[in-house]
Structure 1
Amino acid sequence: MSDATTRPSTRRREQTRARLLDAAHEIFGEVGMDGASVEAICERAGFTRGAFYSNFDSKDELFLALVSRMAEAKMDEVAGRVRDLSTSAPLQPAALVRQVLGVSLGEHTEPQLMSEIRTQALRDPRMAQAYLAWHERLQARVAAVIRTVVDTQGVRLRLSVDEAARLLLSLSEESSMFATIEGKSEAQIGAVLADRLEHLVTLLVDVS
């Protein structure tokens, strides 16, 4: 098969996956993960069950892919802000958090979806393996962002980069979950995260 034939096929597959993910996101927001049936997702996306199962092995895999897409989009945004730091003067830890993360970190993180996926991972060893692999990739991206900040800003950490990434990610997840339980809006969740991460970064940075 020629490259010219493969490219349109690849694009169609990517578009199908994207539409299924968009539909899943909408359905989840309406009825939750358990209520979001494959049939409802396919109907909303305008595809057959065959199209669904040619892209995802299960509903759990689709929702994990949805979380991955949201997390990657957020990390791409953060990475872009970090690149902008390379031409700026070194910043204090609190200012670094505000400039790199902004107050939008909590937007579109879907704590309810994350909570349900973790619950599924506790029940299903296959889902657990997939979730742990995804979480490891996300942590690696956070670590890469931290390394860039360390290199461009001359920051010294009290912990290793990997340990700092693990702490920042854990705090983000826990804060987002509790802020959601408290009924806060996305903007309020972002503000809570920025404030708590600012305090944590201040503790992590060695200013001696």
Structure 2
Amino acid sequence: MSEASPPRSRENTRARLLTAASEVFAESGFDGASVEAICERAGFTRGAFYSNFASKDELFFGLVQQVSDAKLERVTTRVRELESEGLPAMTPAELVLRVLDIEHEERLGVVLMSEIRTNAMRDRRLAAAYLEWDAAMTERVAQIIADLARTYSLRLRMPVLDAARFVLQNWDATCVHAVIAGLGTADTLRLVTERTAALAAAIAD
């Protein structure tokens, strides 16, 4: 196995390690995934790993951040597209369903989030990092909700941060259920649609 060398190859090395880690974590879980297994899957040595990540924990959080950032970027893009289209007024449920990135939700992202929550309950250091990440996610979703409410003249029945927490919790719980139940894309879409419509009607008008 050969080491990648800088400059651009460092980014490639990091990307390949993240891809390999996503596969190994999904197959073996956080505890069962060793640095050696990740390096072997990526085609690098431990030296390459530790030149990019201080620990397996840091790699894990980097992977979760990557998955989350991609999801939020797609949602943000949809919000911008809606605003540029100048669509007529929609109910909160219709609006949320136009914005949510249901069709691109992947089993990997759901499994990773479940893994990180489980380990955060056991490890106080991981817990602190998870809570910091969760707060940042909630803030970003709250900003999206606030922008939608302002653009479409929606009245929230609760503070925007609370609305963001409910949206995230509903999304996570529904996706976890879908993975556990082995639901396909169509059934997952139907379930998320039903639950999101009920939640949207409860938090805004």
TM-score (norm 1): 0.86
What is the one-letter code of the residue matched to 2:52?
Answer: N
**Contact persistence 1:164–1:204 (CA under 8 A):** yes
- 3-state SS in 2 of match to 1:137: helix
CA distance in 2, matches of 1:50, 1:187: 43
- Residue 13 of structure 2 aligns with which residue? 16
* SS of match in other structure, 2:23: helix
Residue 155 of structure 1 aligns to a residue whose secondary structure is: coil
Query: For residues 107 and 81 of structure 2, what CA distance do their matches in structure 1 show?
Result: 23
Note if 1:145 corresponds to 2:144. Answer: yes
Q: 1:151 to 1:105 in 2, by over 3 A?
A: farther
Amino acid in structure 1 at the alignment position of 2:69: E
For 1:88, the equivalent position in structure 2 comes to 87
Distance apart, 1:36 and its partner CA:
1.9
1:77 to 71, 74, 78: 74
What displacement does 1:108 show?
Answer: 4.5
In 2, the alpha carbon distance for the partners of 1:195 and 1:119 equals: 27
Distance 1:59 1:188 in 2: 35
Aligned length: 199
Q: What is the identity, as a one-letter code, of the residue corresponding to 1:94? A: A
Q: Distance in 1 between matches of 2:32 and 2:184?
A: 23
Provide TM-score, normalisation by structure 2: 0.87
User: Structure 2: which 5+ runs fail to align?
Assistant: none
Q: Which residue of 1 aligns with 2:195?
A: 196
- Structure 1 range deviating more: 140-149 or 52-61: 52-61
> How far, CA to CA, are the matches of 2:185 and 2:116 in structure 1?
20
- Which amino acid letter does the alignment assign opposite residue 114 of structure 2? S
Question: Structure 1, unaligned stretches of length 5 or more?
Answer: 1-7
| Code of the aligned partner of 2:176 | M
For 1:110 and 1:162, how far apart are their aligned partners in 2?
A: 23
Q: Find the residue that maps to 1:34 and give its secondary structure.
A: helix
Distance in 2 of aligned mates of 1:31 and 1:109: 12
Aligned partner of 1:176 in structure 2 is 175
Which stretch shows the higher mean deviation, 180-189 or 162-171? 180-189
Displacement after TM superposition at 1:188 (Å):
3.0
Residue aligning to 1:62? 59
Aligned-pair identity in percent equals 48
The separation in 2 between residues aligned to 1:52 and 1:177, in whole angstroms, is 30
Task: Check the 8 A contact 1:101/1:194 in 2, yes or no.
Answer: no
Deviation at 1:136, TM superposition (A): 1.1
Residues of 1 paired with 2:53 and 2:29: CA distance? 19
Equivalent residue number for residue 184 of structure 2: 185
Cα distance, 1:118 vs structure 2: 1.2
